[in-house]
Every structure is written in C-alpha cells, then in structure tokens.
Amino acid sequence: MHDALNKEISRLSTAAQDLFDAIAEVSRDGPGITRPAYCEQETKAGELIKRFAESEGLECGIDGGGNFQYDLPGKDPHGMTVMASHLDSVPLGGNYDGLAGVVAGTLVQAACKRAGVIPPRRLRTLGLRGEESPWFGTAYLGSKLALGQLTDKDLNELTHISTKRSLAAHLQALGVPADAASIHGKRLRHEDVHSYLELHIEQGPVLEDLGIPIGLATAIRGNIRHPFAKCHGVYGHSSTSPRHLRSDAVIATSQLVCAADELWKSILDEGNNDDLIINFGIFATDPAQHAMTKVPGDVRFSFNIAGTNNDVARDLYRRILAEADRIQKEFRVRFDFGPKVGTEAIHLDPALLDTADAAAGDLGLKTLRMPTVGHDAAMFARLGVPTGMILVRNQNGSHNVDEAMRIEDFIDATKVLALCALSATPRH
C-alpha cells in the first residue's frame, strides 16, 4: 500500500507546483505575496485548491467559520484525521508559509484516491483562514472559528487592519452566519478528531544549515509579549543637554535591549534552554518629533520572549522588568509596557512524533526533532487532540519576499504526512 501511495504522491509533484504557481499569481504584491485574511486573495487560494480537489474526486465545502474543507471518507464513519494549515499570508510574505500544508493535505487525499487506498477514518484537509496576526491583531482566527472558540464580542470587536471592518462583517460577506451561537453549532467537535497533523515550512535556517530535509516538532513555543511598549523621556536640545541631565529615551531603551540580551546569553550559557528566544521587533522614535539635534523624548518598541519551558520564560520576564525598573531610575525615563499578551508552551504528541520519525526512516530521510513557533496546531493540541507537525526545510526564512522551498523536499514531507495520516493508532 505504502509503495503505491508514495508513487502517486511523486506523480502529483507537477500538479502541486502548478497549484503553488497559480496561487502565487493571484496573490502577487510587488516583489512578494500578500493574502489578507478573509479577503479576495485568501478566498481565491482556497478556490484554486478546491478546483484541484474536485478534479481528484474529493468532497469540498465550507465550515461554519468560513474555512475551506476537503474530505475523503474512510472505513470508520466515526471520527476523522485532520490535516490543516492556513491560506493567508503576512503582508509582503512568501507563498509557502501555511499554503504548503493545505496543498500537502489534498495531495495525500488525491494519492489515496488514485491508489485505491481507503483510509481507516475520514481524512479532512482544512484550508484555515486568518492564522496570521497582522490582519486582526490576533492569530489563529480560522482554527478558533472551526472549533467554536470565539465569542460575539470577538466577532464584533476584532477589526481588520486594512478594511477597518469587523470579523463579523467579513464572515457575512462570505455568506457565513456571523454570530457565535451559529458558529458554535457548526463547530468541529474536537472529541471527533482522532489526530491533527500540520505540515509547515520550517521558517528558519536550522534544517538547511544541517542538510536535513525534515523537522519533527516536539513542542510549540509559548510566548510573553508586549506589542505596544513605550519609553517616555524628555525632548531637548542635543547640544545643550549634558549626559547627567538628559532623559534620553533611545539610550534608555537601548540599555534595556542590551540588558535583556545579556540575561538571555547567561541563561543559554547555563545549558538546556537553547530554544529560548528574545526579540525586540519594533524600535522607533516619533517621525513627527525626532530630529538629528533633538534628545529623543519617546521610543515605542515591542518585545517578545518565547520558549518551550514556561518557568524559564517567566523567570526571564521578571528579570527583564527588574532591569527596566533600574534603568528608568538611572536614566530619568519611564517605561510603559502596555498590554501583556501570551500563551503557554505546549508539547506535541510523542506517539505521533515517533510515527513520523519511523515513516521518514522508512523513506530513507533524515529528521531533526526541534521546537517550532505558533501555528494552528496549538489550538487543537490545547484541547487535547493528539497533534503532530512536520516541518519542511526551506530557504531564506519566512515572512519575507525571498521565502523559498524545494518541491522535492515538499514531496518527501508529504509522503511522511501520508503515512502518519493513515496510521491506525487509536486516540489516547
């Protein structure tokens, strides 16, 4: 069975590349790809996959949250294995982030159909909407809607950054009921999901650097975030303000960044926490007020702590806040960190991890067990669904216009996905 299935997946390589190319064409945004959540480009991506799925004899539809679903019935009418990822992209991103997982799921289903393989249970591929946080200021909207996790308050208050319309208005435009009760009534019951599998590009340089084609996610990093932090100093004339009398917001915030980096390095030097991450992704003065000869009085910045050990992350966060308190006294400034958001780290299913490792070994493929970042998989794992993630080696990172992926690596990872999806291991 496996040989026949793998041959069909290999034969579908050209169809997969054609699908990627067609979706890139309708998502093109200058040098990159932009598929805004709940907008035309995201919908066109789902419809192009639907056209392919229907041509392969799959059942297609839209769920209660506006997500695309592509189904292949199995032997057991009770329960299903879900393969999923997201259709949207960040602004000026790449074509494979999210999309690779949706295409892979439909390839597995099409290969089963072609090879005459009846899966042990229904195989459902979900093309989830709105996973990326830039569009509505929060992530995983498609999976939250699929699982009935959003409230009427969420639906009416979450607002699209580009259209300025609510999530409810976007759902209504898709012809989907936009009230929480209706969505919850049509939800995917997590108790019915035997396992959740997500293929996703790695989005980083590790696999490429090591020459390993496939990563197997051990955990999804948790995070502690302050997206709208500020440092308030005092504007002044740069040439008449001696150092000891300045309230320089740039120097103070820079001190905080350096102090955080030293704390990070000290934890890494202690060992066993090499998955810990700190990032200051936003660091800006006010363009309306900054000037070469002015002491900067305000800086806005963000910071993010991520890792798989929740206790280590929380301890680092406390130490960074202590450093901020010291720095603001020394440099006569005030830090305002604004709202704090975050999620706990979650470890993925060890049985699925072993199944994927064995499947890759049978195909002669090297793997690396490694943590990963936030994905729709987290929503299913937090509800107790056995969850696994297969990471595809890709080039030039992600969330940028140079993101790349070799089709050969994608096909190999899809074969691993297929063997995991057809596993008869019962839900524990």
**Annotated binding-site positions:** 86, 97, 132, 200, 399
Residue 14 forms beta bridges with which residues?
Answer: none
Residues in the chain: 428
Distance of alpha carbon 32 from alpha carbon 92, whole angstroms: 5
Give the end-to-end CA distance of the chain in Å, rounded to a whole number.
26
Distance of alpha carbon 3 from alpha carbon 298, whole angstroms: 63
Query: Which residue, chain included where needed, has tokens 């909207």?
Result: 141
Strands 367-372 and 76-86, how do they pair?
A: unpaired
SS3 assignment for 207-250: HHHHCCCEEEEEEECEEEEEEEEEEECCCEECCCCCHHHCCCHH
Distance of alpha carbon 423 from alpha carbon 420, whole angstroms: 5
Q: Tell which residue, 332, 420, 360, 403, has the closest CA to residue 96.
A: 403
Strands 222-232 and 341-343, how do they pair?
A: antiparallel
Helix boundaries (H) for 151-248: 152-157, 167-173, 180-185, 206-210
φ/ψ of residue 212, rounded to 5? -110, 130
Q: Tell which residue, 373, 400, 255, has the closest CA to residue 305.
A: 373
Burial class of 278 by CB neighbour count within 10 A (0 to 12, 13 to 18, 19+) = buried
Over its C-alpha atoms, the chain yields an Rg (Å, rounded) of 23
Binding residues for Zn(2+), by number, are: 86, 97, 132, 200, 399
φ/ψ of residue 422, rounded to 5? -90, 0
